[in-house]
Amino acid sequence: MEQGNLWWEKARKSVHGNRAGPYHFKSWTLVSADSKQILFAFGTIYMALFSNLILATREMLML
C-alpha cells in the first residue's frame, strides 16, 4: 500500500508539478482512496455473484 501511495505521489508531481499545495494533494488522495474502495467493493460483489452463478449452473448441469 505504501508503494502505491508513493507511486501516486510521483505521478501527481509529474502531472501537476509543485503548484498544487498539500491541501489539494490531501483531498486528491482522499478522493482516490474512496474511489478505490468503491471499485474494490463492487468488484467483490460482482465476483461473489458471478461465482455463485457458475456454481449454480454446474449443479443444474450435473442434475
Mean pLDDT computed over 6-15 = 65
The reported pTM is 0.35
Q: Is 60 exceeded by the pLDDT of residue 17?
A: no
Query: Which cell goes with 40?
Result: 474494490
Q: Is 60 exceeded by the pLDDT of residue 24?
A: no
Closest to 28 (Cα-Cα) out of 5, 61, 1, 57: 5
**Residue 28 in contact with residue 12, Cβ under 8 Å?**
yes
Digit-coded pLDDT (tens) for 43-56:
888 888 888 888 88
In the chain, the amino acid numbered 63 is L
Q: Is 70 exceeded by the pLDDT of residue 62?
A: yes
What percent of the chain clears pLDDT 90, i.e. is strictly above it? 0
3-state helix, strand, coil in the chain (%, to 5): 90, 0, 10
